[in-house]
């Protein structure tokens, strides 16, 4: 078995990413997915008309497309966090120092020499090798990197943000719902990508997956802005 060329993998990924800020990149995908959910809703509403007038049979099968939203949402989450982790490590301490706790990251001589040549940054290399296959996994990585409980930071930031108060439930219930949707989305993504079955109960609509993903990433970006802003003297 040939040895993986991590540097080549990173450079290949970077070549497919437009030179843009991480939040701008993810926002473009979120907006596109949100518009797609609107289109699906309109088509579903007009299903009978489309089948009768335009000879488009079984238009109701458009619901099959719903399974693609968890896949794309998780791709946005993973892509965003890989960019974020690279940025934080390259930002410097305390994140660079905290990254030493990622004991599973091993540097080969070839990798070190490539890093010294400036092909990729230390942050790029570390973020590429970290496993991000669940919400809890991301929480663990981020908690290590920022030196604080990441889920707790998300909750604190949610309560800081202005939002419409729920009429029936509580703010905490709404926050917990966002986290639950994001957590379940990883499980759905795995099933849709690797199995022929379905996940059974789906706890959110396509628009619900997109909305919860956007809120989760926006809270994260707000946390990062707060912990990386220059300290007042």
Helices (DSSP H) in 46-107: which residue ranges? Answer: 47-53, 68-91, 95-98
How far does CA 221 lie from the centroid of its chain? 11
The CA–CA distances, whole Å, from 78 to 17, 134, 135 equal 14, 9, 10
- pLDDT tens, residue by residue, 58-103: 666 677 788 888 999 999 999 999 999 999 998 889 998 998 888 7
CA dist 189 and 69 (Å) reads 9
| Res 108: pLDDT | 59
Contact, 135 vs 178, CB < 8 A?
A: no
| Res 20: pLDDT | 59
- pLDDT tens, residue by residue, 19-50: 557 888 888 888 998 988 888 887 777 666 66
How far does CA 195 lie from the centroid of its chain? 22
Contact, 163 vs 112, CB < 8 A?
A: no
| Res 52: pLDDT | 64
What pTM value is reported for the model? 0.84
CA dist 75 and 30 (Å) reads 11
Using a 10 angstrom Cβ sphere, with 0-12 exposed, 13-18 middle and 19 or more buried, the burial of residue 79 is middle
**Could you tell me what percent of the chain has a pLDDT over 90?**
33
Q: What element of type H or E holds 95?
A: helix 95-98
């Amino acid at each position: 078995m040939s040895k993986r060329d991590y540097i080549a993998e990173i450079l290949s990924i970077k070549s497919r990413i437009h030179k843009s800020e991480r939040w701008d990149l993810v926002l473009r995908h979120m907006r596109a997915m949100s518009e797609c959910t609107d289109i699906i809703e309109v088509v579903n509403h007009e299903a009978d008309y489309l089948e009768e007038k335009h000879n488009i049979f079984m238009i109701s099968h458009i619901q099959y497309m719903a399974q693609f939203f968890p896949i794309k949402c998780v791709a946005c989450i993973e892509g965003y966090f890989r960019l974020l982790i690279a940025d934080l490590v390259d930002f410097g301490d305390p994140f660079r120092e905290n990254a030493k706790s990622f004991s599973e990251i091993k540097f080969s001589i070839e990798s070190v020499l490539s890093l010294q040549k400036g092909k990729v940054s230390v942050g790029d290399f570390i973020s590429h090798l970290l496993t991000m296959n669940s919400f809890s996994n991301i929480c663990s990585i981020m908690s290590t990197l920022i030196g604080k409980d990441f889920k707790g930071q998300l909750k604190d930031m949610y309560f800081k943000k202005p939002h419409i108060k729920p009429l029936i439930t509580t703010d905490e219930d709404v926050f917990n719902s966002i986290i639950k949707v994001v957590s379940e989305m990883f499980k759905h993504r795995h099933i849709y990508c690797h199995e022929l079955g379905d996940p059974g109960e789906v706890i959110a609509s396509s628009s619900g997956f997109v909305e919860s993903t956007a809120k989760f990433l926006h809270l994260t970006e707000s946390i990062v802005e707060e912990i990386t802003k220059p300290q007042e003297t």
